[in-house]
């Protein structure tokens, strides 16, 4: 069996009760590819609202989770609280948190371990800046970010990797199909060498970075691209077209 196609929608800090209900209603009515796993990540305030209105076939992710079970950690959410609310996934390591909130590789790895140990699925983000790409350091940066997790986590069965070149997020710039496939193939080779052959074969690697209904078809045909983590386009009706990118 091949790897199941996976499409995540990261709403980031966008949406209101009305607009998010509209997005959910559109997904409920849409003819979605049954062979694609779909997970959407609204702002934390709306996690329960989304879970209550989505059908069971679509899962809900938090955009972050803390690495401690409970306590005096103002503003944070624990793994157990997410599970208690029917939230089964979390996004970790997104470049916006790495860059803006200064989350380093070790902290991302610690949160990933807490999430996996607690039974959540993790969409683990990695990616390089434009300067790092131009310096030829893309693979070095991405594998360094992944190695921090591999040092703490041995079971990768609940991890989906999202390769997101920072220079392509929200900019309208997209890595060429060849650029994306090249990095995805390198990540898979790293998994085989550093984790296991099974992890390399089974771990899904998503592309994120200005994915739209216009470019998703070509990207979806690549052998090592197993889906997408979608930002702005997940707020639009065209998100359905991206979910159906592998449909023939």
Distance CA 140, CA 135 (A): 11
- Residue of 59, 164, 184, 213 with catalytic role: 164
Rounded Cα gap, residues 32 and 248, in angstroms: 13
Residue 94 appears among annotated catalytic residues:
yes
Of the candidates 37, 59, 94, 213, the residue annotated as catalytic is: 94
CA distance 90 to 184: 21
Three-class SS state of 22: helix
- Hunting for tokens 């045909």 — which residue is that? 221
Residues 85, 89, 90, 93, Cα dihedral to 10°: 170
Say if residues 90 and 123 touch (Cβ distance below 8 Å).
yes
Whole-angstrom Cα distance, residue 30 to residue 38?
13
Residue 53 designated active-site: no
Q: Give catalytic residue positions.
A: 94, 164
């Amino acid at each position: 069996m091949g790897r199941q196609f996976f499409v995540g929608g990261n709403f980031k800090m966008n949406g209101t009760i009305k607009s998010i209900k509209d997005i959910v209603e559109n997904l409920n009515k849409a003819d979605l590819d049954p062979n694609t796993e779909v997970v959407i990540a609204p702002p934390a305030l709306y996690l329960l609202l989304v879970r209550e209105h989505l059908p069971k076939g679509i899962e809900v992710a938090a955009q972050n989770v803390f690495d401690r079970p409970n306590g005096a950690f103002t503003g944070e959410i624990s793994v157990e609280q997410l599970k208690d609310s029917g939230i089964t996934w979390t996004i970790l390591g997104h470049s916006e948190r790495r860059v803006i909130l200064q989350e380093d590789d070790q902290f991302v790895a610690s949160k990933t371990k807490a999430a996996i140990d607690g039974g959540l699925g993790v969409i683990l983000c990695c990616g390089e800046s434009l300067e790092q790409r131009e310096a030829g350091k893309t693979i070095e940066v991405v594998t360094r970010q992944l190695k921090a997790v591999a040092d703490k986590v041995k079971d990768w069965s609940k991890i989906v990797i999202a390769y997101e070149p920072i220079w392509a997020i929200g900019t309208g710039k997209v890595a060429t199909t060849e650029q994306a496939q090249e990095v995805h193939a390198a990540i898979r080779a790293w998994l085989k060498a550093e984790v296991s052959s099974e992890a390399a074969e089974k771990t899904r690697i998503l592309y994120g970075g200005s994915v739209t209904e216009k470019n998703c078809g070509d990207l979806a045909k690549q052998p090592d691209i197993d889906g997408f983590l979608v930002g702005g386009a997940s707020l639009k009706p065209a998100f359905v077209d991206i979910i159906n990118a592998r449909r023939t």
